[in-house]
Structure formats: C-alpha cells, structure tokens
Amino acid sequence: MNCGIMSLLCDTAFEDPWSSFFMDVLSPLSFVKVSYVRMQGLLLLVFAKYQHLPFIQILSTKSTPTGLFGYWGNKGGVNICLKLYSYYVSIINCHLPPHMANNDQRLEHFDRILEMQSFEGLDIPNILDHDLILWFGDMNFRIEDFGLHFVQESIKHQCYRDLWQKDQLSTAKRCDSLLREFQEGPLLFPPTYKFDKNSNNYDTSEKKRKPAWTDRILWRLKRQPSTGSNTLRLPDPHFSLSLKSYVSHMMYTISDHKPVTGTFDLELKPLVSVPLITLAPEGLWTVEDMLISYSFTQDFISSFWDWIGLYKVGFRHINDYVSYVWVRDNEVSFSNGLNQVYINIGDIPETEDQFLLCYYSNNLRSVVGISSPFKLQRHTFLEQDPLGEAQPQI
C-alpha cells in the first residue's frame, strides 16, 4: 500500500482503494468483507461467502511494528485472529527487513512477530495452539553464495533446484525447529524480485539486485499431543489443509515484485453446526414495515446494542445494509425463545432484488444469524371487511 501521510489520511476517512476493488469483484460472487487491519503499507483483508458468516467470529486484529526499534510500522506484521466453526485460525501478513546481509534480522523479526501475538484479557489460546496459522508477505529472504550471472542463467533455463538449496528461508527451515513446522509449496515459479517497473526484466539499475523469492506463503497446522505421552502426532484429521496451487503472476508489472497467490482446500468437521440465532421474515407485512421472527440458543447472550440488518444479496460488508433495527428497541413480542421485531422497509423501492436478514451481536462483534434469501413483496395492505374491521392480507 501507499504509506504516504496523505494516502493514510484519505484511506482512514474513506474506503481504501484495494478494499473497494476487491469488494467490487467479489461481492457479486457472494463474498463479504469480514475484517481488515492496516499498518502503514501493510493491508490484510478477509472475505467469506455470506452463508459462513454465522460461524465466523473475529476475535482480534493486531499490528506489530518492528521498524525503528519496534516503533515504526514500515516493517512488521498484521494479524487477524478468528474462530471458524469453532476452530482457531490466525492470518498474518508481514514485511521483513531487506538486503542480503540482514538474514539474522529477518529471522529475529519473524520470531518477534510470532511472540507478540498474545491475546491478554481475551479467552484465546496462544497462537502456537491455533489450529491453523497462515503467514505470507514480503519476507525478503535472498539467494546466497551464487553470483548474479549464475542465478539469471538458472532462471532463464528454469533450473531452480540449485537455487532452492541457497534460498535463505529454506536454509533456515532446516536449522530452526519452530520455522520447520511452517510448510510451503514448491517454488516452481521464477524469483519474484527485483524487476524493473512496467516490465518483466530483472533489475537493470546500477545496483543490479540479484533475483530472489522474497514473496512467500507459509502455513502451520497445530500438532496434537499423543495420548499418554509428551510426543506429538500429525495434525487433527478433522481439520486438514491441502495446497492446490502456488504460483506467481508475471503479467502484473506495476511493482518491482511479482504477486504470488496460493489456493488451498480446507476440510473440517464443524465443531458447531447450528447458528446462535435463527431468523426469518414473517408473512405479515405492511407498506412500511416487515415483521421478523428470531430465536436463539441457550448459549447466546444478547446486548442492548444488537441489531438486525436488511441487505441485498451481493452486499459488500456488514455496514452495507439498506435498513436496520435495534433489537431491544423494536421488540414487539417474545415467548418460549421466539422473538419478533418490526423493521422499516418504507424507504426501499419496489425491486426484483433478493434480500437477506443478518443478526449482528455487539458482544461477539460478528454476525451470528442469517436468513435465507427472499424478495420484498409489499402487497399486504390492510383492507376493510364487510363489518368495517381492518383485516391483514398475507
């Protein structure tokens, strides 16, 4: 991200351009922006399909600056910790120190970012006890020993095997027991740094930086203790991650890096399968209002600041509602765990769009219930019966 002061101020006051771009692309595919965290030039965004929202709880967003003795955020990491179907998942984006000679400093910052992911005062386990850690970013690891000409020729002929042996991250993983627990896909793509901007040519400036795989995607699954011993066994069979693709994208030339993407399949056996809130629109509507019924599980603790939002299918983020209602203020009835509220729809034009209802919990800072899609059909006017009494049309 552009980390200039004016860019930071604009992105604080308005939606940052990357968030807007991804929401434009992903919202028609039913993805919703769930959370984000930014630290100067680092931005981390999390999107999810809307049907998963009741089972995703954002537990923490955190920034860990490591530049200038830990006070400046030009280097460091940002983390989003969430519960996914009651599994703990941490996602980290980082920018580590550059230059060939600073490998020890990179490893130190890697450890520091990990150590700083504490969740004091929150009922969240240590990050190393999370079921999954996804860690990616500009890690700035370089290729040692080989000269520029040898590296360039190896890349030209796609002979990467020798380069892997001298990749600083690969070397560190062979020596560091904790780093060894982080997995990575095979580096079958060319080094992603450093390129002349607006080209596919490696650095032709006076510095002639040696190409390197600086941009990496790692992951770590929690290892389970074996019963009756202190040894560790393989990760939980009910929670597994498999890498489907790990590639760079040479067609993008706006940076001196080439972007890298990883695609994974995450298979899990949900630890929770029933949402905390079940809600649906009822048949009794007027021109101005719609009746909503909802019920909740015994574990759910409501708040005066809980609210229900009405959304168009394809909404971009949780505040992208077309109408909302405070649950406690607009409650009209409750009995045996079934509650009813009215939400105003009078200002919404007649449309063929489909809508959703979402219940937002202030205590959990997340959506805990979502309805099935439906259409607004406000033809339920009150008509007079022969005796002169108003009768609802349903």
The predicted structure's pLDDT at residue 40: 87
Contact (Cβ atoms closer than 8 angstroms) between residue 63 and residue 76: yes
Q: For 23-32, which contacts have Cβ atoms below 8 Å and span 24 or more sequence positions?
A: 23/316, 23/317, 27/314, 27/315, 27/316, 28/314, 30/313, 30/314, 32/315, 32/316, 32/317, 32/318
pLDDT per residue as tens digits for the range 319-363: 999 999 999 888 887 777 789 999 988 888 878 889 999 999 999
Contacts of 41 (CB under 8 A, 6+ apart): 1, 2, 3, 73, 74, 95
What residues in the chain have per-residue pLDDT under 70? 3-14, 68-73, 121, 224-235, 378-394
The predicted structure's pLDDT at residue 10: 63
Contacts of 199 (CB under 8 A, 6+ apart): 253
The predicted structure's pLDDT at residue 4: 64
Query: What residues does 245 pair with on adjacent strands?
Result: 263
The predicted structure's pLDDT at residue 390: 41
Cα 244 to the center of its chain, rounded Å: 19
pLDDT per residue as tens digits for the range 15-28: 889 999 999 999 99
The predicted structure's pLDDT at residue 152: 96
The predicted structure's pLDDT at residue 72: 57
Q: How far apart are CA 212 and CA 163, in angstroms?
A: 9
Q: Residue 95 burial by CB count (10 A; 0-12/13-18/19+): exposed, middle or buried? A: buried
Query: What residues does 349 pair with on adjacent strands?
Result: none
What are the φ and ψ backbone dihedral angles of 178, each rounded to 5 degrees? -75, -45
